[in-house]
């Protein structure tokens, strides 16, 4: 945890002087019921002008690969998107624990503890702590993608759109929800390709709006192309939202 704090301090020291026209970078910490992962740090970014339309609070949640600290999302194009659209940006720093993983109690399973932890983070970051007023646009890569797709099935009433890239495991929906999905995967990410296709087919079978994007030549990795595809997708959902 000390190493994490040092990294965050270095990040804030380096990034703030070059963002004099940007919003505000903030950090937080949440206690969890997990004996193996007792505290989770998170980063969040307030745009210079928050657009909540007098109704709901729009929040972009980004969960990176295994043991991501969330720092990669506190920069362009994510902060640019937050500033242009008046949306809060939040990135949890979930840390993997093998003991939890083997018991299916790690953060990739939000029904155990990490989903409630994210809700607590949102309530800290949001000026409105009424969860029903949240509009969530969620991005996840690899281990983070496992978390976000499962979280969406648990909290579909507040999750407007989810971009899943290169998830290894899925929980399949059993009924239709209004959340919209894009599943993306590299053509050469063969270990995860079939499960992505299966999740896509199950979503379509239950009436869920879901698109599958397969990127030629891409393995288990992520590039700016996926970032921009996700943000374009989120913007299209926001434009069609009655409370944006």
The residue-averaged pLDDT of 138-155 equals: 97
H runs (alpha helix) in 62-189:
78-85, 98-102, 115-125, 143-154
Q: What is the pLDDT of residues 81-110, one digit of tens each?
A: 999 999 999 999 999 888 888 889 999 999
Per the DSSP assignment, residues forming a β-bridge with 135 are 58
Distance CA(189)–CA(148), nearest Å, equals 19
The residue-averaged pLDDT of 30-44 equals: 88
Whole-number pLDDT of residue 17: 41
* Any domain includes 125: yes
Looking at residue 128, which CATH number applies to its domain? 3.40.50.1820
Give how far Cα 150 sits from Cα of 70, 116, 135, 166, Å: 19, 13, 17, 14
Percentage of the residues of the chain whose pLDDT score is greater than 70: 88
* Any domain includes 169: yes
Strands (E), the chain: 24-31, 39-46, 57-63, 88-92, 134-141, 159-165, 180-186, 210-215
* Any domain includes 244: no
Q: How many domains does the chain have?
A: 1
18: pLDDT strictly greater than 90:
no
* Any domain includes 138: yes
What domain range includes position 120? 2-239
* Any domain includes 232: yes
Mean pLDDT of the chain: 89
Q: What is the pLDDT of residues 42-78, one digit of tens each?
A: 999 999 887 655 568 899 999 999 999 999 999 999 9
């Amino acid at each position: 945890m000390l190493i994490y704090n040092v990294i965050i301090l270095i990040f804030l020291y380096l990034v703030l002087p070059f963002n004099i026209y940007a919003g505000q970078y903030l950090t937080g910490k949440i206690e969890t019921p997990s004996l193996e992962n007792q505290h989770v740090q998170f980063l969040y970014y307030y745009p210079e002008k928050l657009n909540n339309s007098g109704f709901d609070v729009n929040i972009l949640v980004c969960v990176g690969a295994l043991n991501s600290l969330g720092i990669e999302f506190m920069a362009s194009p994510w902060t640019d998107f937050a500033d242009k659209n008046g949306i809060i940006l939040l990135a949890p720093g979930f840390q993997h624990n093998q003991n939890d993983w083997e018991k299916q109690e790690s953060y990739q399973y939000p029904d155990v503890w990490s989903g409630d932890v994210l809700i607590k983070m949102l309530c800290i970051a949001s000026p409105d702590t009424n969860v029903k007023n949240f509009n969530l646009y969620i991005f996840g890569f690899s281990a983070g993608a496992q978390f976000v797709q499962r979280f969406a099935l648990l909290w579909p009433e507040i999750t407007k759109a989810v971009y899943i890239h290169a998830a290894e495991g899925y929980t399949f929906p059993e009924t239709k929800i209004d959340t919209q999905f894009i599943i993306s995967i590299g053509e050469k990410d063969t270990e995860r390709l079939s499960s992505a296709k299966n999740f896509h087919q199950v979503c379509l079978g239950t009436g869920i709006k879901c698109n599958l994007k397969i990127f030629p030549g891409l393995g288990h990795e992520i590039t700016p192309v996926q970032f921009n595809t996700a943000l374009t997708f989120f913007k299209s959902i926001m434009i069609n939202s009655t409370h944006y």
